[in-house]
Structure 1
Amino acid sequence: MDPQLKSTLKESRIHSGHLQPFGAYHMEYGPGEHVLDCHWHEESEIFLVLEGEVLFQLDEEHFPVRAGEAVFIDGGDIHAGHALGGAGCKFFALVFGAGLLTSAQYDIIQDQVILPFQERRVTFPRLIQPSGSAGQELLKHIQAMMTACTVKPPGYEAAVKGRLLLMLQELAVSGMACDRSLNRSGSAVKLERLKKVILHIQQHYDRPIRLQELADLIPMSEGQFCRFFKSMTGQTPVDYINSYRIRQAAEMLRVEDKKISDIALEVGFDNISYFIRVFRKIMKCPPSAFRKGISP
């Protein structure tokens, strides 16, 4: 995979560091909202739906995830999702690097458990459901990690690491392990086309972007391109561009003192009223309230 293209969807958020080797997040979204725009990160992720239902995308695969079910995302996988139904959704996400699990020295655990996981030769099912005893055990570990990350008792980081190791042990005894070490060449062309378009959007979001301009990158007709993009991301190209621009604006509102009108122009909106309307739709509050920290 072209390193430049692969970087296009890479999430910029730092989930872990030297002393904090994982990130834990509780999120809530309204009906039909995009839970995740298309992106990827080096770390693996466990996504547990607490309420509602989410239509999840992993590469080209789409499937619903209901309350009480979890998704496992291997490091490097493109993923996205949006809330289904009329009630919105709540979820917990744990994002961790494989380095969290490595041994201090190369031992049998590193050789037979951690290395196969790092190489994706032994990894979790995409969808983890409570329909069997093994799935129930995996979900119990995930729920225990969520509780630990919420309450944060002394040493909770060790509990998270221990639970992840126990989950890998459950794979070994249950026969649920999946081998995703082989490239799926059938979807590679579509994914590379998508990354090329996203790269262009991320490099030029601060100026007007025409649909035909994006379609010419593949190349496709404008109609074909819109259908392709929607099938790959679950969003129209305009919705994706607006969402990307608004998230850039939100970050600027957090850290900069510029006028809201200036920020709107810098992220590609030439109509301030339209910017405020789109911002409110995506962020559930106007830019002024977001800057003040007043949000739902």
Structure 2
Amino acid sequence: MQIKNFKIDGTLKELTEHRMRELPLACYETTIHDNIHGYIPLHWHNEFQFVYLVKGEAMFQINEINIKVEKGEGLFINSGCVHMAREENNSGCTYICLNVAPNFVLSQELYTTLVAPYVEATNIPFLHLLPTETWANNILTSLLKINQIIKSCPPFFEIDICVQLAFIWKNLIMNGITLEHEQKEMRKNQRIKQMLNWIHLHYDEKILLDDIAEAGKISRSECCRYFKRMLNTTPLTYVSEYRIQKSLILLQQPDSNVTDVAYQVGFNSTSYFIEKFRKWMNMTPLAYKKLKNH
């Protein structure tokens, strides 16, 4: 199964419930270009995410850091970290993605001492899992096993999954990373989510840089630095790109037209909407509409 249209709230939190009927986890096989946007958009969730690339290569962004991941490699993405992914070099990138609730990887009695400190650490937004490292290769192998267990559902498969999760977590914490908990970093993550939340609630209105900065309770210049560091863009460029994202769904409706969609998502000029759309999607809104309708 693949999620092709990420539903997110104003803070970019993904609204998908990542769970099987029996367990608070979900495993997907994802081909990046099959997503409605052509990439995996910026989002976050409370679950840990483990990724294993089975084909191609991709550029992942986690918080403000970009990391290239190739076939056979993987990632651990920590709870609450904003992330996205784009395919590299038209490689047809496909990956296995396991999302699991942090309080499920180990028993309740062990969560406080062996899991929670990693959730709260500010220096582990992600770990790059390289098969040349024994601990990382063990995690990648167990990830493949969990994917196969879920596909085949043998008797007592829930226990098999729990065994593999415990093994994954043991190898992750054996990596020896020294945990850090910086209040400044926590405030930074909270402020960027506040500003994104404001944009997502008001994207169809006139938006000024002052409005975005006020949402994060910071100055205009600091607001620009936040967006540059964490999203590698400017606040107003992010607004335009988010409007384009919202327009993709509207353009697929049979009775929609380009001008109406432009104004619905907050552009005050059809020509400006077309210019920005072409820059972002490498085609005009009308060409995109015809492609999707076909």
TM-score, normalization by structure 2: 0.70
- Distance change >3 Å, CA 174–CA 44, structure 1 → 2: closer
Q: Show the counterpart of 1:203.
A: 201
| Equivalent residue, structure 2, for 1:52 | 57
Partners of 1:112 and 1:177 in 2: how far apart?
A: 22
Counterparts of 1:293 and 1:270, CA distance in 2: 25
- Partner of 2:129 in structure 1? 128
- Matched residues in 2 for 1:275 and 1:156: separation? 52
Question: Quick one: distance in 1 between partners of 2:102 and 2:172?
Answer: 24
**Contact 2:28 / 2:96 at 8 angstroms: preserved in 1?**
yes
- Residue number in structure 2 paired with 1:96: 99
- 2:252–2:292: 8 Å Cα contact kept in structure 1? no
CA distances 1:87-123 after superposition (whole Å, capped 9, x unpaired): 5672425253428958xxxxxx624566767635589
Contact 2:46-2:101 at 8 Å conserved across structures: no
Residue equivalent to 2:259:
261
Partner of 1:250: 248
User: Are 2:78 and 1:74 aligned?
Assistant: yes
Conserved 8 A contact 2:50-2:75? yes
Matches within 5 A, 1:104-183: 110-111=107-108, 119=116, 121=118, 126-145=127-146, 152=151, 154-155=152-153, 162-163=160-161, 165-172=163-170, 176=174, 183=181
Could you tell me how far apart the structure 1 residues matched to 2:177 and 2:270 are? 50
Query: Aligned-pair RMSD on alpha carbons?
Result: 4.3
- Mapping of residues 3-82 of structure 1, within 5 Å: 8-16=11-19, 18=21, 21-22=25-26, 24-28=28-32, 35-49=39-53, 50-57=55-62, 59-82=63-86
Gaps of 5+ in 2: 1-8
The residue aligned with 1:278 is 276
Map of 1:213 onto structure 2:
211
The CA deviation at 1:206 is: 0.2
Match of 1:3 in 2: none
Residue 126 of structure 1 deviates from its aligned partner by 1.9
Q: Which moved more, 1:235-244 or 1:122-131?
A: 122-131
Q: CA deviation at 1:286?
A: 4.7
Which one-letter code corresponds to 1:94 in the other structure?
A: C
1:149-187 superposed Cα distances (whole Å, 9 cap, x missing partner): 7xx5x4389869845641422443685267899743131
Conserved 8 A contact 1:141-1:163: no
Aligned-pair distance for 1:202?
1.0
- The answer to whether the Cα contact below 8 Å between 1:101 and 1:165 also exists between their aligned partners in 2 is no
Which sits farther off after the overlay, 184-193 or 158-167?
158-167
TM (norm. structure 1) is 0.70
**Cα separation, partners in 2 of 1:230 and 1:271, compared to 1, 3 Å:** same
| Deviation at residue 72 of structure 1 after TM alignment | 1.3
Distance change (3 Å), C-alpha of 1:226 and 1:173: closer
How many pairs align?
277
Partner of 2:4 in structure 1?
none
Deviations 1:194-250 (A, max 9, x none): 12221221121002222343245443244x533331111123323321222122222
Percentage of pairs with the same residue: 23
Unaligned 5+ runs, structure 1 = 1-5, 103-108
C-alpha displacement of 1:61: 4.8
